[in-house]
Chains A and B, each alone.
Chain A
Amino acid sequence: MKRVLLTLLGIAALGISAIACADPSVLRLATTTSTENSGLLGDILPRFEKDTGMHVKVIAVGTGKALRLGQNGDVDVVLVHAPPAELKFVAAGYGVNRRKVMYNDFILVGPASDPAKISGLKNVEDAFRRIADSHSLFVSRGDDSGTNKKELAIWKAAKITPHGKWYRAAGQGMGKVLQVAAELDGYTLTDRGTWLAYESKLPLKLLMQGDPRMYNPYGVIAVNPSRYPDVNYTGAMRFIAWLTSVEGQNMISAYRKHNQQLFVPMAITNAKSTHAAR
Chain B
Amino acid sequence: MTDLWQATQQALQLLLTGNAELWHIIGISFSVSLRAVAIATPVAFVVAFLLSYTRFPGRALLVSMFNTMLSIPAVVVGLLLYLLLSRSGPMGDLHLLFTQKAMVIGQIVLCFPLLVAMGYATIAAADRRIWETAITLGARRGRAFLTLLHEVRFGLIATAIAGFGRIISEVGTSMMVGGNILGYTRNVPTAIALETAKGSFAQGIALGLVLISLAFALNLTVAFFNRRMEPQT
Evaluate contact between B179 and A172: CB separation under 8 angstroms.
yes
Evaluate contact between B3 and A62: CB separation under 8 angstroms.
no
Evaluate contact between B198 and A72: CB separation under 8 angstroms.
no
A171 CB to nearest B CB, Å: 4
Evaluate contact between B186 and A171: CB separation under 8 angstroms.
yes
Evaluate contact between B197 and A142: CB separation under 8 angstroms.
no
User: A199 at interface (Cβ–Cβ under 8 A)?
Assistant: no
Evaluate contact between B198 and A65: CB separation under 8 angstroms.
yes
A73 and B190 CA atoms in complex are apart in Å by: 27
- What are the residues of chain B within 8 A of A182 when measuring CB–CB? 87
A154 and B143 CA atoms in complex are apart in Å by: 64
Evaluate contact between A180 and B197: CB separation under 8 angstroms.
no
- What are the residues of chain A within 8 A of B199 when measuring CB–CB? 62, 64-65, 67-69, 144
User: A176 at interface (Cβ–Cβ under 8 A)?
Assistant: yes
- What are the residues of chain A within 8 A of B179 when measuring CB–CB? 170, 172, 176, 180
Q: How large is the interface on A (under 10, 10 to 19, 20 to 34, 35 or more residues)?
A: 20 to 34
- What are the residues of chain B within 8 A of A180 when measuring CB–CB? 98, 179, 181
- Give the contacts of A48-69 with B (CB-CB under 8 A): 61-62, 64-65, 67-69
Instruction: Report if A171-B182 is in contact (Cβ < 8 Å); known contacts: A68-B199, A143-B198, A184-B98.
Output: yes
A35 and B190 CA atoms in complex are apart in Å by: 25
Evaluate contact between A171 and B3: CB separation under 8 angstroms.
no
Q: Which residue of B lies closest to A168 (CB)?
A: B181
Q: Which residue of A lies closest to B196 (CB)?
A: A65
User: B44 at interface (Cβ–Cβ under 8 A)?
Assistant: no
A67 and B213 CA atoms in complex are apart in Å by: 31
User: B200 at interface (Cβ–Cβ under 8 A)?
Assistant: yes
A70 CB to nearest B CB, Å: 10
With a 10 A CB-CB cut-off, give which of A168, A183, A203 has the most chain B CB atoms. A183
- Give the contacts of B80-113 with A (CB-CB under 8 A): 86-87, 95, 97-98
A169 and B182 CA atoms in complex are apart in Å by: 5
**In the complex, per-residue mask of A245-262: 1 if CB is within 8 Å of any chain B CB, else 0:** 000000000000000000
Q: Which residue of A lies closest to B176 (CB)?
A: A176
A44 and B184 CA atoms in complex are apart in Å by: 41
A-B pairs with beta carbons under 8 Å apart, 24 shown: A61-B197, A64-B197, A65-B198, A67-B199, A143-B197, A143-B198, A144-B198, A168-B183, A168-B184, A169-B181, A169-B182, A170-B181, A170-B182, A171-B182, A171-B190, A171-B191, A171-B194, A172-B179, A176-B179, A180-B98, A183-B86, A183-B97, A183-B98, A184-B98
B binding-site residues for A, Cβ under 8 Å = 3, 86-87, 95, 97-98, 175, 179-184, 186, 190-191, 194, 196-200
A binding-site residues for B, Cβ under 8 Å = 61-62, 64-65, 67-69, 72, 139, 142-144, 168-172, 176, 180, 182-184, 203
